[in-house]
Structure formats: structure tokens, C-alpha cells
Structure 1
């Protein structure tokens, strides 16, 4: 009889499941002002910085209205300054001073409102990303709230998948995840979410992992295989017996 001393070795099992990828941040771009498209400073597919202007709408009469409102504010403030001096010398009643203060405040509010409305004619990128879709042309007339494109941040990706209820108990945020793409390339990340409740129809649990996409590969919406590292255990490696 032969025997061999076996020593347990550390082993990290993996749970493999199918899922899909999406950009970590993605937003449908909508106008917040009515107007005709007079400028398209960014082409579809271009990478942009947060705050960069994506679209220019006609300001119509807003610029003239703002200029007039600023003049009214200057006048109201000048009248208020003079009234303060008169009030200190008891040459102006308190109600009249309050009326002038209210007039200056109203003028300031109107200027702020018009400046905001003018800024809304030049919608900008809310974050760094790529203008993945642009749905308008020069001359198009848009209404407030109308979609004009889509911006996505693909520097990081989210991988989503579903796992069977028997496997969900072994999962927790922070576990390492390797995502293998359809072309065989791997991307590394970690588990960030494990659903607390199973889906009513499938009794499976939704999981999400986040991973870096340093080369900005076009992967949002693609399928991928997730390999989630489970808690390490010690095992013995056994080989089949050799019969002579």
C-alpha cells in the first residue's frame, strides 16, 4: 500500500455568470429653454469636459431684456443710496425707504432670472464624457424639456448580472471581479452591490460591479462574463490513482 502526505493549499473559487456592461454615468440631454438651434459647437462622438457648451439656441429678445433690467437695477440702487442719506437726515419716511429697498430687490431678482434664462440657451455638459448621440440640426426649433442628445462617461463601467439564490449568500460588496469581454480581453473591478431581495419571477439576485475602462473601449451595452472571487478556502489537490 502506498500513501502520500497531502497538505491543504489556499484556493479561491469563482462564481461565473453572464451579464452586460453600461457606462457608469449616462444622461439624456434636454433643453431648459425654447429656441432655434443656431450653433452646434460639438460634433457627435466628441469627448467633452464638464461645463463645455454643447448647443447654442437663439436668445431672441433675452439679451435686450437683460440690458434693460440691468439699467433698471443700476437706477434702483442709485435711488436707494440717495434715500439712505436722506433717511439719516430724517428727510425721508421709513415706508418710502422700504419701498425703494423692495424696488432694488425686485430689479436684482429680474436680472438674475434673465441671466439664468440666457445661460439656458447654451446648455453645457454636466460632467466629462463623450457626446454619444446628437439628435438636432442647425435651424431646428426646440421646446423646453426636449431631448437633443446623450452624454455618457465611459471612464468607468458598471457590469450587471443575476445570480441564483443559492449563490447569493456568498457574495458581498468589495469582492474582486474579473470581467471577460467577448473578444477574450479581461477587465478588473469589484462588486459594489448585491440585491437584498430576489426577483419575484426568477428568484435570482441582481449584482453590480464597477470597473475601470482606461482605454475608453466602446463597451457600454455589450455582453460580458463576470467571474466573482468567492471567499478563500483551503483544499487538498487529489489526482486519480494510477493502476499498473
Structure 2
């Protein structure tokens, strides 16, 4: 009887111990699970803290005037170097460098030498030939002179006329005259110089209208047409407005650029030749983003662009094209309509890197 009671008590103790061991194990597992969860959360927060932080802002494109900007220089509308057309000694120099001249004004005179005598000789010969031809004509009408003799008299008369005209032209060439209103830019002769045919005498500039010439790239030349309005700003901040009058049809072999000319009025001849100018040509509208030049960066290949983040906060590099440069900022094209721009910290992150973003 006692053995049965003892056996029953032993069984109760064993079962109770087994049940209690299950509770403890569950409690331990719960504690372990709680500890593991806290560790994972802490690790995630630590990983988040390791990611580089960048400041971003949302940017949306706008429609802006599309402008082509060129560097150029001012040039005279007309420029001519006058050269000697006959030989002779410089007898008079009537102009100085920088002097304004009128069309037809005598600039330099060469010595006449024996030209007046040759002119009188040519006139006398012409009178003689004219008399001979009239006599031959009269005799020919009376059948007292052959047609051949009449033709010879006519030929001699024409030769005398040509000789007289030749000496007159040669005498006219001893006076070098201005071909148009302008300024004497250079003078190559002095009193007493002996001039040969083709030697330079003076250079005349026509500054009534100024041409601002520049070179446009092959990518933009198709956008520029004669008649297009433009603006030129000189280095001294003077502004000139005019129209395109010339676009080259052949490029420079060395630079692959095309010459364009902006013609502007020059009242009072205030603008000289050879001044540096910035030419701005408006060629329509385009979509662009106005950004600070500080956000621009270069890719590993040397391409200019900006850095943005996508929806997963991954850094992306976007190449850009310059649309316009204004005091308010730089207008950049070639970008999507909306983007998340990295405004601070872009120089410290790379394309494809995950970052933590902070909004401006």
C-alpha cells in the first residue's frame, strides 16, 4: 500500500518537473527572441547612420528663351588697302593716320614727270590722224582713194584716240583718292618715296556700320539664319543690337566652326575695329532647369553634369548642356522634367552609391 502511494507521488513529481521545464524553455526562447530583435533593429539603425548624408531639393524645368552665345570681335564694314597703279615719286601726302576722309578726296599725289608732255603729244597726234581720216574719206567718195587706204586711216585714228585715253588714265592714277567715306587706318608712304605698281599706299576703313564677327559650332549653325536679331556686348559694357547678315556655308578646316556676322549701326563712328564682344542670338524657346553653377560636377570621363538621387536614394549622374548663362543662374538642358537634385555633398558621393537624404 505504501509502495503504491510512493510510486504515485514519484510519478506526479516527474510529470510536474517535465511541465515546468517546458515553461522555462519557452521563457528562455522568448527572452532570446527579444534580444535578437533588438540587435537587428540596432544593426539597421547603425547601417543607416553609416550612409553618407546629402542635401537634396526638388527641381522642375521651365520654358526659357534658347540663346546661342559666341565670342567675336568688331570689324569695319569695308576695309580696303589702296595700291599704286602707276610708277612715280610721292610728291604730296595730304592725309595722316586716323584722319577722316570723304569719297573722292585726294590722299596722295605722285609726280607727273613727263606725263603732261606725253598728253600734248597724244592730242597733237590725234588731231593729225583726224585730219588724215577726213581727207581719206573725202577722196574715197570721189573714188580717188581705195577702201584699204580708208581703213588704214580709220585704224590710225582709233589708235591715236586710244593713246590719248591711255595717257589720261595714267595721269589720273597719279592722284590716289578715297573710294568711300571713312578713316585712314594706315599710311605706308612718305614724301619722296618712289612707288612701283602694286605697292601699298594707305588703308581706309568704313566705320559707318560695324560687323561683329564670331564663329558658331557645327551643332548650332543650322539654327542661325540671315535676318536673325542679335545683341553684342563689348568689353566696356556697351550694348549693340543688329541683325545677322552672313552665315558661312563652309567651315574652318581647323576648328570646324562657321563664321557668322552681326551687322550693327555705328552712329558717330563710336565703335572701333578689333574690340572683343559677346554675341547673343535668340533662336527660340527650350525647356531647361535654372541651377547654380556650384552644383555642376564632372564624371570620370570628364563630362559635365549634375548628381541626383532616384526613388531608392541611389546617386545618379546626369549629363547637361548649357542653354544660357544669366546673372540669376545657369540654365541647363538635357535633363528630365522633374528631378531630386543633390545640392550639397555631391562631390563626396559617387554614382550608384546609396545615401541618406536631407531636404533643404
- Name stretches of at least 5 consecutive residues in structure 1 with no aligned partner: 1-7, 238-242
| Alpha-carbon distance in structure 1 between the residues aligned to 2:255 and 2:75 | 22
Aligned to 2:133: 80
**How far 1:163 sits from its partner (Å)?**
2.2
1:124 maps to which residue? 177
Equivalent residue number for residue 56 of structure 1 = 109
Match for 1:21 among 63, 71, 74?
A: 74
Q: Is the 8 A contact 1:170 1:231 kept in 2?
A: no
For 2:139 and 2:243, the matched residues in 1 are separated by 69
Q: Relative to 1, partners in 2 of residues 1:176 and 1:112: Cα closer, same or farther, differing over 3 Å?
A: same
Residue in structure 2 matched with residue 5 of structure 1 by the alignment: none
Q: For residue 95 of structure 2, give the secondary structure of its aligned residue in structure 1.
A: coil
The alpha carbon displacement at 1:231 in A equals 2.4
Question: Which structure would you say has the larger RCO, counting Cα contacts within 8 Å and 6 or more residues apart?
Answer: 1
* Structure number having the greater helix percentage: 2
Q: TM-score, normalised by structure 1?
A: 0.86
Say yes or no: does 1:220 pair with 2:273: yes
User: Highest CA radius of gyration, 1 or 2?
Assistant: 2
User: Is contact 1:23–1:158 with CA below 8 Å preserved after alignment?
Assistant: yes
Richer in strand (by share): 2
SS in 1 for 2:164: helix
Deviation at 1:109, TM superposition (A): 0.7
- Structure 1 residues 124-133 or 191-200, which shifts more? 191-200
Alignment partner, residue 124 of structure 2: 71
Residue pair 2:242, 2:265 contacting (<8 A) in 1 also: yes
Equivalent pairs counted in the alignment come to 230
**Secondary structure in 1 matching 2:231:** strand
TM-score, length-normalised on structure 2? 0.59
Match of 2:221 among 164, 168, 171: 168
Pairs within 5 Å for 1:145-160: 145-160=198-213
Shift of 1:218: 4.2
Pair 1:136–1:200, CA change in 2 (3 A)? closer
Q: Tell me whether 66-75 or 87-96 shows the greater mean CA deviation.
A: 87-96
Q: RMSD of the TM alignment (CA)?
A: 2.3
For 1:180, the equivalent position in structure 2 comes to 233
CA distance in 2, matches of 1:84, 1:165: 71
Q: Per the alignment, in what secondary structure is the counterpart of residue 211 of structure 2?
A: strand
SS in 2 for 1:178: strand
Change (3 A) 1:93 1:197: closer
